[in-house]
Amino acid sequence: MTVSDTTAETRTMPGRPRDPRVDEAIFAATLELLAEDGYAQLTVERIATTAGVGKASFYRRWPDKVSVVLEAVSRNPERPSAPDTGSLRGDMLAYLRALAQYRTVYSEAISAISGEALRSTPFAEAFHAGIADPVTAELRVVVQRAVDSGELPSGTDVELLASLPPSLLFMRRLLMGCQPDESFVERIVDQFFSPIGAFLTDETRQSLPQTTTSSDEGELL
């Protein structure tokens, strides 16, 4: 998608509303360049050229590339949403696999945004509102659905469980310096979001205490 500089200049004159086509062109160009070349190679000049707008149009909207990356990533239609597979385990596996893949593609951008959030309170607020909070919100949907269906107890701390996976994914990147892969996602789900019988081996299952009843006890209480 390209937008002529003439259109951009006309629509962004003082007192006139911004042309949404310019915004969308810049978002699309930003995401395209991030996916192709990474954050380090991204420049305002390249974004403007790819979007087909002038740099003046860009700077009327954002002060720097970090700011436009934040908004582009937060609005990205490829960002995963909570699935409904019919089970807590299935929902978590599907969502976290998609989230890990998404964050791998845009890992440099998200790292840069996170770093900027640590230095700037206003930027931190925008980061949480645009990137962090929506992820936790999607996970709350998954956890609450499991509570409502009886897969999790009614007293489950929904907020705590919803914040656990993104925290583990973030710490793996920060402390170990590697992107979480599908194996790591499965470890999270198996440890925290699977019924005990779903991933026990036969040997482990046989080692668990067995409940028995005498023949005159009738039904198991």
Q: What is the pLDDT of residues 69-113, one digit of tens each?
A: 889 888 888 888 999 999 999 999 999 999 988 877 787 787 778
List of residues 6+ apart from 21 with CB closer than 8 A? 1, 3, 7
On whether the CB atoms of residues 80 and 70 are closer than 8 A, the answer is no
- Domain edges within the chain: 5-75, 88-195
Q: Determine the 3-state secondary structure of 201 from DSSP.
A: coil
What is 88-195's CATH topology? Tetracycline Repressor; domain 2 (1.10.357)
Instruction: Report which secondary-structure segment, H or E, holds 143.
Output: helix 133-149
DSSP string, 147-174: HHHTSS-TT--HHHHHHHHHHHHHHHHH
Query: In CATH, what is the architecture of 5-75?
Result: Orthogonal Bundle (1.10)
Token pair in block for residue 7: 């259109």
CA Rg, the chain, in Å?
23
Decide if 5-75 and 88-195 have a common fold. yes
On whether the CB atoms of residues 117 and 123 are closer than 8 A, the answer is yes
Confidence (pTM): 0.70
Q: What's the pLDDT tens digit per position in 119-138? A: 878 788 888 888 889 999 99
Alpha carbon distance 197, 88 (integer Å): 14
Place of tokens 């949403």: 81
